[in-house]
């Protein structure tokens, strides 16, 4: 069994992003800039934003953090997004979700231009992914593909099973694997005989948000297991969607939680911000 080290790959990619960023500054006098909007004082969201700002510093990305109070109106949030959308010095816009109750997150997200959609969540970017056109790809599935690539894990002709069909992970993950020539099955709460579907996977991606849901009898001998989950077990300890201890001796590769897919998500956000800057300069 080989443990896929997301922290090590993440550090490698951040160094690459920093080099790209320095090259842009040297050649064009432009620093890739990411605007982050946080509305309210949700503790988890504050931690995420701090992590993103810190990652920007490490990756040579300029961060502009905008903090709005819990009492901010829909109009105020939308006005800020519209202002950043028109600002040519801003290359990526990120609105930290969830927004406080009473605010329409979808309406706010729709105001982010496709070419500044650093998260890759817009309908336009999802459409581009499905048609294999250039666009921005959601950070977590993009991070998973980077891990597979850097560990030289082949996807072409392999049977991949994605457990979970969220717009943020499951669906784009399935499309990326399909684009990489895997034969893909997407499983969810209505899937009949989920265990049997999982057991057929050469590459199993668990992204359903249930602690230790994937057990040893659901995994094929020698499979590659990617755990996207970030859960808490019965003792409040951080764990994934895969029962790591039960599964690890059966697989060829596996991502741990923490330290697997998690670090890659913020790192790919940095990479996306740099890519959006490169595209803006190219156009």
Of 69, 96, 113, the domain-final residue: 113
Q: Which of 97, 93, 122 has the alpha carbon at shortest distance from 34? A: 93
List pLDDT tens digits, range 126-164: 999 999 999 999 999 999 999 999 999 999 999 999 999
191 falls within a domain: yes
Check: CB of residue 19 under 8 Å from CB of residue 25.
no
118 falls within a domain: no
Same-domain status, 91 and 166: no
Q: Global pTM?
A: 0.94
List pLDDT tens digits, range 239-254: 999 999 999 999 999 9
Residues known to be catalytic? 52, 96, 119
DSSP result, 215-255 = -GGGS-TT-EEEE---EE-TTS-EE-SB-HHHHGGG-SEE-
Rounded-to-integer distance, Cα 31 and Cα 23, Å:
9
Q: Which domain does 167 fall in, by range?
A: 139-262
238 falls within a domain: yes
Give the helix, strand, coil percentages of the chain, each rounded to 5.
45, 15, 40
The mean pLDDT of 20-48, rounded to a whole number, is 95
The mean pLDDT of 252-278, rounded to a whole number, is 97
Domain count, the chain: 2
278 falls within a domain: no
276 falls within a domain: no
Average pLDDT, the chain: 96
Same-domain status, 107 and 69: yes
């Amino acid at each position: 069994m080989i443990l896929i080290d997301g922290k090590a790959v993440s550090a490698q990619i951040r160094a690459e992003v920093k080099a790209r960023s320095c090259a842009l500054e040297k050649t064009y006098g432009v620093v890739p800039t990411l605007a982050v909007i946080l509305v309210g004082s949700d503790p988890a969201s504050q931690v995420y934003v701090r992590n993103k700002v810190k990652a920007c510093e490490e990756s040579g990305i300029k961060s502009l953090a905008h903090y709005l109070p819990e009492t901010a109106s829909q109009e105020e949030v939308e006005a800020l997004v519209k202002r950043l959308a028109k600002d040519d010095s801003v290359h990526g816009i990120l609105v930290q979700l969830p927004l406080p109750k009473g605010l329409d997150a979808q309406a706010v997200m729709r105001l982010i231009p496709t070419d500044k959609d650093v998260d890759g969540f817009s309908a336009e970017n999802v459409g581009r992914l499905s048609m294999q056109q250039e666009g921005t790809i959601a950070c977590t599935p993009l991070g998973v593909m980077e891990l597979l690539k850097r560990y030289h894990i082949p996807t072409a002709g392999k049977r991949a099973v994605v457990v979970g069909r969220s717009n943020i992970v499951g669906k784009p993950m399935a499309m990326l694997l399909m684009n990489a020539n895997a034969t893909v099955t997407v499983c969810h709460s209505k899937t009949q005989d989920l265990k049997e579907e999982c057991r057929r996977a050469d590459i199993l991606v668990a992204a359903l948000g249930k602690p230790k849901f994937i057990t040893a009898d659901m995994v094929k001998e020698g499979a590659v297991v990617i755990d996207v989950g970030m859960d808490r077990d019965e003792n409040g300890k951080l764990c994934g969607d895969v029962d790591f201890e039960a599964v690890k001796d059966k697989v060829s590769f596996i991502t741990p939680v923490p330290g697997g897919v998690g670090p890659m998500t913020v790192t790919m956000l940095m990479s996306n911000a740099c890519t959006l800057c490169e595209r803006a300069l190219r156009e």
